[in-house]
Amino acid sequence: MMNPLRKKKLEIVDEPTPAPRPEEAGKRYAIEARGIKKSFKAGQLMVDVLKGIDLLIEPGEIVLVMGPSGSGKSTLLAAVSGLMKPDAGSVIALDTNIWKMTRRKIDRFRLANCGFIFQGFNLFPALTASQQVQIILKFMKKKKSERKALAEAALNDVNLGHRLGNRPDRMSGGEKQRVAIARALAKKPKLIFADEPTSALDGENGNVVMTLLRKCAKEQGATVLCVTHDARLATFADRIITIEDGRITSTNADPAIFAHHH
Ligand SMILES: Nc1ncnc2c1ncn2[C@@H]1O[C@H](COP(=O)(O)OP(=O)(O)OP(=O)(O)O)[C@@H](O)[C@H]1O
Ligand SMILES: [Mg+2]
> From the CB of 37, is ligand 1 less than 6 Å away?
no
Residue 118 binned pLDDT confidence (cut-offs 50, 70, 90): confident
Amino acid at 12: I
> From the CB of 74, is ligand 1 less than 6 Å away?
yes
Helix (H, G, I), strand (E, B) or coil at 155: helix
pLDDT per residue as tens digits for the range 4-57: 444 444 444 445 555 555 556 667 899 999 999 999 998 999 999 999 999 999
What is the widest separation between alpha-carbon atoms in the chain? Answer: 63
Top-confidence residue, 257 or 231 = 231
**Ligand lying closest to the C-alpha of residue 67:** 1
The helix (run of H) or strand (run of E) holding residue 193 is strand 191-195
> From the CB of 72, is ligand 1 less than 6 Å away?
yes
Q: Is the pLDDT of residue 90 over 80?
A: yes
Backbone angles phi, psi at 193, to 5 degrees: -115, 125
Q: Is the pLDDT of residue 262 over 50?
A: no
Q: Ligand 2 mean position to 70 CA, how many Å?
A: 7
What pLDDT, on a 0 to 100 scale, did the predictor assign at position 41?
93
Taking alpha carbons only, the member of 62, 63, 97, 69 closest to residue 82 is: 97
Class (C level, CATH) for 59-82+102-259: alpha beta
Ion ligand 2: protein residues whose beta carbon lies under 5 Å:
73-74
What pLDDT, on a 0 to 100 scale, did the predictor assign at position 192?
97
What pLDDT, on a 0 to 100 scale, did the predictor assign at position 206?
86
The helix (run of H) or strand (run of E) holding residue 9 is helix 4-13
If you average pLDDT over residues 137-154, what whole number do you get? 94
pTM above 0.75, yes or no: yes
Q: Which residues, 6+ apart, have CB-to-CB distance to 17 below 8 Å?
A: 34, 90, 92, 97
pLDDT per residue as tens digits for the range 56-65: 999 999 999 9
> From the CB of 3, is ligand 1 less than 6 Å away?
no
Taking alpha carbons only, the member of 156, 151, 153 closest to residue 133 is: 151
Q: Ligand 2 mean position to 66 CA, how many Å?
A: 10
> From the CB of 38, is ligand 1 less than 6 Å away?
no
Tell me the Ramachandran region of residue 191: left when phi exceeds 0, alpha when psi lies from -120 to 50, beta otherwise. Answer: beta
